[in-house]
Amino acid sequence: MNYFISIALSAIISAFTFASSAQTTKKVLFIGNSYTYVNNLPKMIADAALTTGDTLVHSSQTPGGARFLSHTANPVVFTAIKSQNWDYVTLQAQSQEPSFDSLTIHQDVFPHAKRLCDSIYAANKCVKPLFYMTWGRKNGDSRNCQAIPWVCTYEGMDDSLASRYQYMANQNKALVSPVGRVWRYLRRNHPTIELYSADESHPSANGTYAAMCSFYTMIFKKDPTNITFDASLKAADALTIRNAAKLVVYDSLAKWNVGKWPLKPTANFSSSLSNDTVQFSNNSQKANSYSWNFGDGNNSTDKNPKHIYGDTGRFTIQLLAFACNATDTFTQSIYIPPSTIIDTSDTNDTIKEKPNVLPINLKTGSQIQLFPNPGSSAIEIRGISIETDYSIINLEGSVIGAGSVGTSKTNINVSSLENGLYFIELSNAEVRKTIKWIKQ
């Protein structure tokens, strides 16, 4: 693995590990068949989670012998997928099918796994499909051995199942619960722990407990050795299985795609000013919730908020965009121009509200105006009777042009400005006025 990718994945997994001390509730839909419902795997996970302070809310669609293609033909399955905002939807194929020949799995397995994953993401882009990697039969698949030689032994069938489930998880940006790999470890290192029922296919209580430890670890991202629930097992066997799950699953979370495809939002926005109101247009990508800080002590969680500023000046706007467990931030400054007119000839120094029209000479009653507005190459200042300074200010509050005009020269060259809204601030010994002007 690339060194830098490895470091990044380690950082993500460390974050999961740090958060693992918190008590959490997870909602999981189980789609499968008898390998899931025998010994009631979902309930066993829920019972184990309670001993670590966690809660599993679960539902199941697990008819006996069900294949992926039968699930995709069942409207009830798609209704269940859309029924709640699940954290995970587990996907377990028919026990033999993923180990079959390439033609069969490319026709009958992979396309239907993709359809299920697509429907899961369509219902909620934050939910993760979680493939249930099952195990090879105790002595191989004798029924299909002649046609498919590699399933003749447990090891051959088990390796085929493992590689196909990993492939489906990788192709669909999903996670995988490596139950079969936990079984393989236990068969090699603790062969006295019987994982199979009498049919040499379905799990015994020990086998389901091993599946439970794998799923608990993948769902809660926690060390399974913290579980104190032994189910109906001997305490020593339960401890051995928990340790195996820690070694195979918890100590190798990146191998099972944890942190591999985080949903990363990109925060961005633009704004427009109308009188004293700013309209924010949210241009964020891959986000599903937002938090705005308008820079004046006010906040909003609307997608495209409007905000009225009670003061003039420059304000720093911060937008946080959220998607699942990821966040991105975008910051931008905007300038709110003066909305009042200061008439210094008034002996009481009062402030008078007269937008866009200012009596600059109270004796003659002449007025300042910009012409044309909107304009393109030049602005004519009308109504000037004395030397007047001007500043051109953009929406960010930056002064991008300045000078002076008088009765003999009243034009300002603006041909180099980009199209948009500007504020022309005019001042002299008597008054100060700001006028909105549009370049087009």
Q: Worst-scoring range by mean pLDDT, 73-87, 106-120, 313-327?
A: 313-327
Q: Is residue 83 part of a domain?
A: yes
Band (pLDDT 50/70/90 cuts) for residue 338 is: low
Domain identity same for 204 and 352: no
Q: Is residue 390 part of a domain?
A: yes
Q: So what's the pLDDT on residue 348? A: 36
Domain identity same for 175 and 80: yes
Domain identity same for 133 and 277: no
Q: So what's the pLDDT on residue 66? A: 96
Domain identity same for 376 and 291: no
Domain identity same for 148 and 281: no
Q: So what's the pLDDT on residue 223? A: 97
Domain identity same for 200 and 67: yes
What is the per-residue burial (b if ≥16 Cβ within 10 Å, else e) of 5-34?
eeeebeebbeeeeeebeeebebbbbbbbbb
Mean pLDDT for the stretch of residues 284-310: 90
Query: pLDDT for 29-61, tens place per residue?
Result: 999 999 999 999 999 999 999 999 999 999 999
Q: So what's the pLDDT on residue 399? A: 86
**Structure tokens of 107?**
């026709």
Q: So what's the pLDDT on residue 220? A: 96
**Which of these, 31, 194, 187, lies nearest to 120 by C-alpha position?**
31
Query: Does the pLDDT at position 18 exceed 60?
Result: no
Domain identity same for 402 and 435: yes
Look up residue 289 and give its amino acid.
S
Q: Which of 336, 356, 391 is the last residue of a domain?
A: 336
> Domain containing 428 — which CATH number?
2.60.40.3080
Intra-chain end-to-end CA distance of the chain, in Å? 54
Q: Is residue 264 part of a domain?
A: no
CB 57 within 8 A of CB 98: no
Which residue segment(s) compose the domain that 47 sits in?
Answer: 3-256
CB 128 within 8 A of CB 175: yes
Domain identity same for 252 and 145: yes
Q: Which comes out higher in pLDDT, residue 263 or 307? A: 307
Q: Is residue 261 part of a domain?
A: no
Q: So what's the pLDDT on residue 17? A: 45
Q: Is residue 118 part of a domain?
A: yes
User: CA 275 to CA 358: how far, in whole Å?
Assistant: 17
Q: Is residue 392 part of a domain?
A: yes
Looking at every residue in the chain, the average pLDDT score rounds to 86
Q: So what's the pLDDT on residue 410? A: 79
Residue 372: asked if its preceding bond is cis (omega within 30°), the reply is yes
Q: Is 379 helix (H, G, I), strand (E, B) or coil?
A: strand
Whether this prediction's pTM lies above 0.85 is answered by no
Query: pLDDT for 343-398, tens place per residue?
Result: 333 333 333 333 333 333 333 334 777 888 888 888 888 877 788 888 888 877 78
**What's the total number of domains in the chain?**
3
Domain identity same for 367 and 303: no
**Which of these, 86, 144, 113, 106, lies nearest to 32 by C-alpha position?**
113
Domain identity same for 217 and 97: yes
